[in-house]
């Protein structure tokens, strides 16, 4: 009678070692593939932002949102009525809320309710370029957070709309970047409501040196972190200004002319 031969201990250890080696080789590739899939899903979310905004502007004679604190006129609630619910407001790389222990740049901001009629809390990991708001001379200066309203785009029907950001991966609900803004001092720097260097609100390393955005022409794409400083954020924005001094953590990223 033939006796079946099993694996010896050495053979089992060799097999386990080979599997461990293969896992060590494959894991980085799997992690990269996972991050790439999340980046694609993020762009898909922003494409939905573009669709919602395009529908809104069609209903508003080509104009974008106003910004009235007292009337609770903020973009999350406006666009929710155009089908942009919370599922689209979260980048797959940043779904954990700051209030639940999330940390920048992989965290979603939370805006609490402030007691205005119909005001409710909401959260997102995307933010609006504050310079796109349709602020008029009849609005209070504070509604543009102290920034000159003559620089606002107000409408999508502008020259170079493919270089003007509308919504981006963001650490706060909105921001008013300027070419002289100083980059974050370190990766993952906390951004408070009183931060005057508004570019920091969008300069978070969420996608391996890039953030994703939808532009005024409703196209979507990824933007290198250093490229943020040469986008056309508002009507008077100087895209040819000298670049800032890059902090150590940003020096490894691609430069743009």
What six digits make up the tokens of 256? Answer: 């743009």
| pLDDT per position as a tens digit, 98-153 | 889 999 999 999 877 655 555 567 889 999 999 999 887 766 656 677 888 899 99
Task: Please state the pTM of the whole predicted model.
Answer: 0.84
Judge residue 97's burial from the number of C-beta atoms within 10 Å of its C-beta, 0-12 exposed, 13-18 middle, 19 or more buried: middle
In order of 1, 75, 172, 213, 250, the CA distances from 49 in angstroms are 73, 10, 16, 10, 28
Confidence at residue 71, expressed as pLDDT on a 0 to 100 scale: 45
Confidence at residue 70, expressed as pLDDT on a 0 to 100 scale: 45
Predicted confidence (pLDDT) at residue 180 exceeds the cutoff of 90: yes
Specify the range with the lowest mean pLDDT, choosing from 27-31, 58-62, 93-97: 27-31
Overall average pLDDT of the 11-31 stretch: 74
Overall average pLDDT of the 9-34 stretch: 74
Predicted confidence (pLDDT) at residue 241 exceeds the cutoff of 50: yes
Confidence at residue 159, expressed as pLDDT on a 0 to 100 scale: 92
| pLDDT per position as a tens digit, 50-89 | 999 999 999 999 999 886 554 445 788 889 889 998 889 9
Predicted confidence (pLDDT) at residue 20 exceeds the cutoff of 90: no
Helix H or strand E encompassing 37: helix 9-59
What are the b/e assignments for 40-60, b being 16+ CB within 10 Å? eebbebbbbbbbbbeebbeee
């Amino acid at each position: 009678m033939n006796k079946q031969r099993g694996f010896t201990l050495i053979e089992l250890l060799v097999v386990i070692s080979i599997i461990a080696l293969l896992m060590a080789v494959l894991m980085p590739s799997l992690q990269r593939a996972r991050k790439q899939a999340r980046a694609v899903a993020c762009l898909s979310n922003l494409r939905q932002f573009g669709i919602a905004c395009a529908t809104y502007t069609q209903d508003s004679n080509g104009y974008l949102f106003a910004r009235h604190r007292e009337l609770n006129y903020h973009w999350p609630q406006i666009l929710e009525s155009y089908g942009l619910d919370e599922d689209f407001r979260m980048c797959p790389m940043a779904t954990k809320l700051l209030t639940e222990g999330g940390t920048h740049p992989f965290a979603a901001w939370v805006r609490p309710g402030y007691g205005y009629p119909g005001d409710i809390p909401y959260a997102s990991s995307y933010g609006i370029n504050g310079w796109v708001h349709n602020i008029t001379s009849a609005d209070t200066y504070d509604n543009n957070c102290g920034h000159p309203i003559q620089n606002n785009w107000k409408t999508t029907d502008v020259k170079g709309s493919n270089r003007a950001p509308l919504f981006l991966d963001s650490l706060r609900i909105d921001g008013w970047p300027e070419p002289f803004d100083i980059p974050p001092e370190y990766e993952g720097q906390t951004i408070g409501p009183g931060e005057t260097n508004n570019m920091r609100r969008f300069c978070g390393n969420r996608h391996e040196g890039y953030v994703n955005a939808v532009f005024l022409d409703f196209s979507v794409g990824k933007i290198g972190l250093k490229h943020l400083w040469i986008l056309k954020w508002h009507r008077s924005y100087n895209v040819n200004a000298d670049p800032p001094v890059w902090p150590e953590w940003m020096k490894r990223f691609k430069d743009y002319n």
